[in-house]
Amino acid sequence: MASDASAVKIVNNMQEYKAAADVKSKLVVAYHTAKWCGPCQRIWPENLAAKYGDKVSFLKVDVDEADDVAASNSIRAVPTFILLKDGGKVEELVGASSAALVASIDKHVK
């Protein structure tokens, strides 16, 4: 699995997604995005990754490149954030509201 300079892991296929999402010790936020999506560029979770540190793991899924992951998660719009805890989905947010995303993360982080 490749990753950029931040704490956000780039997921390229379903195998990588399953491995990265099955974390028992912390919240996982899967950020479904696309290069052509303007609102997606404004809500890049890099700063949130720095804010939450090791309490939250962030995954970036490009829906055009990892279309198997997008199909499996029934992604219909981008950006979509899927919050996972203990390997299971606990919440899904659609849209580029950083305030809503922070509120959801805070609700699930101990």
Q: Which residues are catalytic?
A: 37, 40
By three-state DSSP, how is residue 1 classified?
coil
Distance CA 7, CA 49 (A): 6
DSSP states of 32-99 as a string?
A: EE-TT-HHHHHT-THHHHHHHGGGEEEEEEETTTSHHHHHHTT--SSSEEEEEETTEEEEEEESS-HH
Cβ atoms of 35 and 66 closer than 8 Å: no
